[in-house]
Structure 1
Amino acid sequence: MGPAPAATIPPGDIETEINQLATVGRLLEQPELARVYVYVCYFGPVTRPQIEDALSIPKTTVYDHVETLESLGVVDLDGDRPVDVTASPVRIDADGSTITPTILHAVARQEIDDDIAYFVERHGVGKLAAAVREAGRHYAGRITQRTAAEPLGVPTGEAIRIVLALEPVLAAGQTSDPHFDAMFPDIADEIDCRNEIDVSNPETQTE
């Protein structure tokens, strides 16, 4: 008996998966674009003037980013004057890692958080995604801020700063990311961020 035939993926599914990978790659590379996406994802439907006001981004830039996100297939426009913008929460599972709006939110906060921007400049976006995971373990009571340094392979001081900086990302993700459990399948219910973080406030999540 010959070898079993290899499993095949329907062409339509391959196209969808590749398009999603390309879209997520674009968002990972452009923090401001990711910031607009996450805001719409978490608070939509919203109008473009609402995005402009909430994120303090120029009107022309907002229009350009919304147009880009629509072309990437992750936002929809509906209505007329004002147009409602809504976003589809992305999820990519690859090589044991899961990318959801929570990861994209962490990337987006480079625009407004110096500690996250410094961490990415030093270690890259991949290490930031790993830091989100370790921050989740910390706020679930599994590790301390200091012990996050070892699995991340970064100095202790940097580990402490990035874990603290990612707390609003985790708080917002628990409330607004429908794929949050997929990122933390073993500890999602144990993650406990500070009560004073107001996850209903756009400034907490995207400012």
Structure 2
Amino acid sequence: MAPHPLSETPPQDFEAGINQLATVGRLLDHPELARVYVYVCYYGPVTRPQIKAALSIPKTTVYDHVETLETLGVITIEGTRPMEVTADPVRITTDGHVVTPTHLHAVALQEVDEDISYFVERHGVGKLAAAVRQAGLHYGDRTTQRMAADPLGISTGEAISIILALKPAIAAGREYDPYFDVIFPELADDIEFETDIDVTASLPNAE
């Protein structure tokens, strides 16, 4: 009898994979935490005062989230005053579906975008991840906003709204997510935005 695939996985690799899966789950459930992670991941190394200024969140909240992210093992704090914070891009694949910083950015946008917050409240983060895929297809000129309604199982109005709301996540992911082509292997190079889009301003912030 052939060995089960899990029996061939080195224990340390299996442990690391499960830990990262748990970490991604935590980020998917906590938009503000994901927001800090994505900012550091895309723009690091940054300092905690820079995080505070960019995301307009209280100093104590920044320190708490940075400490949590360090405990989760997805960011590193180095140096002396001012200490610099960097983040490792995460990539989790389960049942053939991948989660990367682009998806976490979409989750983080709940903090500043009422359309995305409402969408998640109605449909959950799984449907939001599916909407990320449809948004990429739209901005890669493969589908229209209306065509996203059927595969997502939502109304046309909701489809148009969520595709538009996810534009910042797609734009920033195209620029900064090293795993962007894993989400869109057949069209990553075709996703482009007009030059007047400021990708650095497309991260979730309160400005």
TM over 0.5: same fold? Answer: yes
What is the match of residue 76 of structure 1?
76
Deviation, 1:148, is 0.3
User: What letter matches 1:123 in structure 2?
Assistant: H
Preserved contact between residue 168 and residue 197 of structure 1 (Cα < 8 Å): no
Deviation, 1:80, is 1.1
Paired with 1:80 and 1:65, the residues of 2 have a C-alpha distance of 19
**Does 2:7 align with 1:5?**
no
Structure 2 counterparts to residues 106-185 of structure 1, below 5 A = 106-185=106-185
Deviation, 1:117, is 0.5
User: What letter matches 1:177 in structure 2?
Assistant: D
Distance change in 2, residues 1:121/1:194 (3 Å): farther
User: What letter matches 1:15 in structure 2?
Assistant: E
Paired with 2:24 and 2:145, the residues of 1 have a C-alpha distance of 29
Percent sequence identity is 67
Paired with 2:194 and 2:114, the residues of 1 have a C-alpha distance of 21
Deviation, 1:197, is 1.4
For the residue of structure 1 that corresponds to 2:45, the secondary structure is coil
Which consecutive aligned stretches of 4+ in structure 1 deviate over 3 angstroms post-superposition?
none
For the residue of structure 1 that corresponds to 2:80, the secondary structure is coil
What whole-Å deviation, never above 9, does each CA across 1:26-72 have from its counterpart, x for those lacking one? 00000000000000000000000000000000000000000000000
Deviation, 1:144, is 0.5
RMSD: 0.8
Preserved contact between residue 77 and residue 86 of structure 1 (Cα < 8 Å): yes
What whole-Å deviation, never above 9, does each CA across 1:127-168 have from its counterpart, x for those lacking one? 000000000001111111001000000010000000001111
User: What letter matches 2:10 in structure 1?
Assistant: P
Deviation, 1:204, is 1.6
Paired with 1:177 and 1:206, the residues of 2 have a C-alpha distance of 15
Preserved contact between residue 77 and residue 84 of structure 1 (Cα < 8 Å): yes
User: What letter matches 2:40 in structure 1?
Assistant: V
Deviation, 1:5, is 2.6
What is the match of residue 62 of structure 1?
62
Preserved contact between residue 116 and residue 165 of structure 1 (Cα < 8 Å): yes
Segment drifting more, 114-123 vs 187-196? 187-196
User: What letter matches 2:162 in structure 1?
Assistant: I
Preserved contact between residue 149 and residue 159 of structure 1 (Cα < 8 Å): yes
Preserved contact between residue 167 and residue 193 of structure 1 (Cα < 8 Å): no
What is the match of residue 26 of structure 1?
26
Alignment TM-score, normalising by the size of structure 2:
0.96
What whole-Å deviation, never above 9, does each CA across 1:80-117 have from its counterpart, x for those lacking one? 11110000000001111110000000000000011111
What is the match of residue 197 of structure 1?
197
Gaps of 5+ in 1: none
For the residue of structure 2 that corresponds to 1:86, the secondary structure is strand
For the residue of structure 1 that corresponds to 2:85, the secondary structure is strand
Paired with 1:111 and 1:163, the residues of 2 have a C-alpha distance of 17
Paired with 2:14 and 2:176, the residues of 1 have a C-alpha distance of 28
Aligned pair count reads 203
What is the match of residue 91 of structure 1?
91
